[in-house]
Structure 1
Amino acid sequence: MSYLVGYGPRNDDRSAIELALQLARSRPEPVIAVSVVPRGWGTPAAAGTDREYEQWSALEGRQSAELARADFAAHPDIASDVPTEAVWVAGRSVPATLMEQAAERDAWIIVVGSAEEAEPGRVRLTSKTDRLVHSSTLPIAIAPRSYRTTSGVERVTVGFRDDDAGWSLLERVAELSRTEGARLRVVTFLVAPARTPVTSDVPHAETQVIDLWRTQAEAAQEEARAHLASLGLDDVDVALASGPDWPAAIASVGWEEGDILVVGSSSTHRLAQVFLGSSAAKIVRNSPVPVVVVPGAGT
């Protein structure tokens, strides 16, 4: 098994490699940085132009691989435990090529960085990463912009909801927690819906609804705790993350060095592999720590 890093040509942010090495500190496996560069079309009518394009593309690939090797070299502390490799390949679709490389190299996860427009410390998908997330059968780990760490994975927090997808995700994250040797925390996010101008007695009804949500969430979490204990995981934290909006709710549970957050798909249907529902997408955008998006189990 290995960690496959999607490393972009002319990348000015080594966050994806940082995250892959963090995962590898806890579960030592080879880390392979793959830079995907454009492939020429190979049409006879444009043979000369196409050759020049391929030469330029190859130069981009070699330079990107050199940058990745330099990023690996910034972490000599784990060089003896974790083999690293930086390569480049030509392809017409970055997401499809990364998935092909992941299959060829026996990767169990694909690690990527955030968009250049993301604020430091925040996660934001690029258009390519968004397509990768929605089509991959493997988990996708996304590093916040400018992410740096020297720790391993100390705690795995799973965003849990009481439905079929949530329970399926819980079991998969329990296994991830074991393999990474990390503590497990189960968090349910409760965010009040936007209030609309209505009669004065509705806010009281809204409060009652939120209280009911909280009661149901607490009961589901206790059930999840008991289920995890039956799987041999006794030291599990549970928490309700509530707030007037998503940033406040996510910040309310507290985050530490070595934390990662795991969210799942909104559907377990095979055709929806990893479809980020509105809640999961908001969690990803507001997470202050790396996020692992796990595809649905399929039906």
Structure 2
Amino acid sequence: MSTDNTSAANPKRVAVGYLATQSGDDGVALGAAIATKTGAAIDLICVVHPVPYDGQPGIDQYMERLENQAAEWLADGASRIPEGIEVRTVVTVHESFTEGLIDVAEQSGAAMIVVGGTGDGIISRHALGTVSTELLHSSPLPVALAPRGYARRSDVVIDMITIAVPVKKSASDPLSFGIRFAEAASIDVRLLSLVSLENPAADDTSLAVRKQQVDVARELLEHTRDQLDVDLEVDVLVADGDTLDEALDNLPWDANDIVAVGSGHLGADNRVFLGSTAARILRWTTAPVIVVPKESTPDTETTDTESTTTKAQGE
């Protein structure tokens, strides 16, 4: 069970799911980078699976050993967090690592859940494991994902958030979250649109349509920037290409970026759901990515994350 029963809501807490693996260290590094900029405290959480009782004596002692081992892992993980950041280590028992992590995060009032990916991916890229995949299809809180090898980067300091702004009105607009994050962290903002007709034929007609879509996207971003009542440095960027992958390949990423994207329309309200374009952003970017839950706004027309990240359809 949890080593602390804190339940008061606190927006300046982040929940970091931890295992004694490289991906666990990547999650700790990202959680520490976020906490350093925002002043948030960290809940470092390890979920222990209960052992089915087999009728033999000693089951309680065995579970105690498992929880003690988890506590040792957490102590090692906590030692990787810079001084000055408040850290609470939590061991909890649950059938599901994902659900146990969400339960503790909600009880503590965490603003987001932070995890690493899997160790099977390319260094500096994202690769989803079982836990991160489940979180990206069920979490009621924003999910921050660290790329593989994030813990090995030297002197990581988040200094800009890139927000994928929707062209259409959407229930999955990460703008509000991204601006709040930027204000809390006192970092620069980049408003992003991706434009692609997904048309391999670069003829005059398709190029003209794409140019028109780039102009529309830029106008939208500049209008959005003008409407923001924030004391932040806000830039706009439209990345385009013949295909969405080409547009993503043309997009520059800085070592200290973090990206905020919305959820796909197929997900449940107030839950994270990884849309197809967000998944492709994960595949291309070397920056951490925060996937924001879809808001419950039934009267608003919703679009897939493909529209949210501005895949132009020539409309």
Specify the TM-score bucket, using the shorter chain as the normaliser: 0.7 to 0.9
Report whether the alignment pairs 1:12 with 2:22.
Answer: yes
Letter in 1 for 2:205: Q
Of the three residues 278, 281, 284, the one matched with 2:282 is 284
Cα 1:178–1:60, aligned 2, differ >3 Å: closer, same or farther? same
Residue 52 of structure 1, CA deviation: 5.9
Distance in 2 separating the partners of 1:167 and 1:55: 43
Shift in Å at residue 238 of structure 1? Answer: 1.3
Amino acid across the alignment from 2:40 = E
Counterpart Cα distance in 1 of 2:207 and 2:171: 20
1:119-268 matches, cutoff 5 A:
119-147=122-150, 148-165=153-170, 168-191=173-196, 193=198, 195=200, 203=201, 208-209=205-206, 211-233=208-230, 235-244=233-242, 248-267=246-265
Contact 2:266 2:273 in 1 (8 A): no
The structure carrying a bigger helix percent of its residues is 1
Q: Kindly tell me: are residues 214 and 235 of structure 1, through their superposed partners in 2, closer, same or farther at Cα, counting changes over 3 Å?
A: farther
Within a 5 Å distance, the mapping from 1:38-187 to structure 2 comes to 38-41=49-52, 43=53, 45-48=54-57, 50-51=59-60, 53-72=62-81, 75=82, 79-80=83-84, 82-147=85-150, 148-165=153-170, 168-187=173-192
Tell me how far 1:143 sits from its aligned partner. 0.5
Cα gap change, 1:241 to 1:227, in 2 (>3 Å): closer
2:26, 2:147 within 8 Å by CA — same for their partners in 1? yes
TM-score, normalized by length of structure 2?
0.80
CA distance in 2 between counterparts of 1:289 and 1:166 reads 24
User: Do the aligned partners of 1:4 and 1:107 also contact (CA within 8 Å) in 2?
Assistant: yes
Structure 2: distance between partners of 1:88 and 1:240: 44
The answer to whether the 8 A contact 1:39-1:57 is kept is no
Root-mean-square deviation over aligned CA pairs: 2.5
Equivalent position amino acid for 1:157 in 2: T
Distance 2:147 2:46 in 1: 19
Structure 1: gaps of 5 or more residues: 196-202
For residues 100-120 of structure 1, the C-alpha deviation after alignment (integer angstroms, 9 at most, x for no partner) is 101121110111001010111
1:165–1:264 Cα contact (<8 Å) kept: no
Check 1:100–1:67 CA distance in 2 against 1; reply closer, same or farther (3 A cut): same
1:146-186 Cα distance to aligned partner (Å, 9 max, x none): 11353432111012331222773223322222122111111
Query: Residue by residue, what CA displacement relative to the aligned partner does 1:39-60 show, whole Å, maximum 9, x if unpaired?
Result: 123x4x5343744652452243
- Is residue 116–residue 148 contact of structure 2 (8 Å, CA) maintained in 1? yes
Which whole-Å deviations, capped at 9, do the CAs of 1:202-229 have from their partners, x for residues lacking one?
Answer: x366x63454244234323323332332
Q: Distance in 2 between matches of 1:94 and 1:183?
A: 34
The residue that corresponds to 1:199 in the other structure is none
Instruction: Name 1:200's counterpart in structure 2.
Output: none
Which shifted more, 259-268 or 92-101?
A: 259-268
**TM-aligned CA distance change 1:111 to 1:277, over 3 Å:** same
CA contact under 8 A between 1:273 and 1:298: conserved in structure 2?
no
- Give yes or no for contact 1:6–1:110 (8 Å, CA) kept in 2: yes
Provide closer, same or farther for how the CA distance between residues 248 and 219 of structure 1 changes in structure 2, counting only shifts above 3 A.
Answer: closer
What runs of 5+ residues in structure 2 fail to find an aligned partner?
1-9, 298-315
Is residue 40 of structure 2 the alignment partner of residue 29 of structure 1? yes
